[in-house]
């Protein structure tokens, strides 16, 4: 079975995000970029399925400019076999990404498509669901456990009330949650080997998709600074401040 894994280039989660002075976007100048953590979990799960003999090939795909190839090489170093970059000028919205991934999936015909449940920059949690709808394939989101059962896939997913187990017919689309696995570190030999693994570049025109943004970014605002806490001397003083200053009780 071939597994297709979609990955995204984002700001490293350890970096404090800065907003541009004109509030037009996030400042990416001299900022460390990394593989989206949820995408890294998806790559790790694909590698584990291959180690179990379930998967025969892992293909990673990213939508973006040439800079995305750094993260694709990271995924190759983690165990993917080959990579595809779909070249686009500007950052497309979730629907455009799903349409491009759908065309890649039609060409590659994977038995399983894995994606992170969301990216840590836009936090939309939309692409996986849209992709499954476009391909008319069964889907399971927020996966915390994935097991193959014959020609089906058993996925345990996290929901508000606890855990839900779904059985999907393959081919299927699955989005990964944090508790699915702990991604490995890429070893130096694998990093060197990744430089020689195939990386194909395609354009949206090659895939027959016209990328048109349906969502426009209006402005970006930094979170409000939190005021310092205070100590109170009694319960009566606490109640007074909650009622008259914070106004959270009547």
Mean pLDDT of 170-184: 93
pTM for this model (two decimals): 0.85
- The tens digit of pLDDT for each residue in 9-48 reads 999 988 888 888 888 888 888 889 999 999 999 999 999 9
Beta-carbon contacts of residue 234 (< 8 Å; ≥ 6 apart): none
Domain ranges within the chain, ordered by starting residue: 2-218
Beta-carbon contacts of residue 6 (< 8 Å; ≥ 6 apart): 39, 42, 60, 61, 62, 63, 101, 113, 114, 115, 116, 127, 131
Average pLDDT, the chain: 91
Specify the 3-state DSSP secondary structure of 147.
strand
Count of beta carbons in the 10 Å neighbourhood of residue 208: 10
Judge: domain 2-218, CATH 3.40.50.620: yes
- The tens digit of pLDDT for each residue in 40-85 reads 999 999 999 999 999 999 999 999 999 999 999 999 999 999 999 9
Interior angle at CA 88, CA 62 and CA 78, nearest 5: 15
């Amino acid at each position: 079975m071939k597994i297709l894994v979609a990955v995204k280039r984002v700001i490293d989660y350890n970096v404090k995000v800065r907003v541009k002075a004109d509030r037009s976007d996030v400042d990416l100048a001299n900022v460390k970029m990394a593989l989206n953590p949820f995408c890294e979990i998806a790559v790790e799960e694909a590698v584990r399925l291959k180690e179990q003999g379930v998967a025969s090939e892992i293909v990673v795909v990213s939508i973006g400019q040439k800079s995305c190839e750094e993260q694709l090489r990271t995924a190759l170093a983690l165990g993917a076999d080959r990579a595809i970059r779909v070249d686009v000028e500007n950052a497309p919205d979730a629907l455009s990404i799903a349409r491009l991934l759908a065309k890649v999936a039609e060409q590659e015909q994977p038995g399983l498509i894995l994606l992170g449940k969301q990216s840590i920059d836009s936090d939309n949690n939309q692409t996986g669901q849209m992709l499954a709808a476009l391909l008319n394939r069964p889907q399971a989101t927020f996966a915390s456990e994935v097991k193959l059962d014959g020609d089906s896939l058993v996925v345990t997913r996290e929901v508000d009330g606890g855990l839900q187990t779904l059985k999907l017919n393959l081919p299927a689309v699955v989005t990964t949650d944090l508790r699915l696995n702990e991604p490995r570190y890429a070893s130096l030999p694998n990093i060197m080997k990744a430089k020689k693994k195939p990386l194909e570049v395609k354009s949206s025109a090659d895939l027959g998709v016209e990328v048109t943004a349906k969502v426009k970014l209006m402005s970006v605002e930094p979170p409000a600074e939190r005021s310092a806490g205070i100590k109170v001397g009694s319960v009566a003083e606490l109640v007074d401040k909650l009622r008259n200053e914070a106004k959270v009780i009547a």
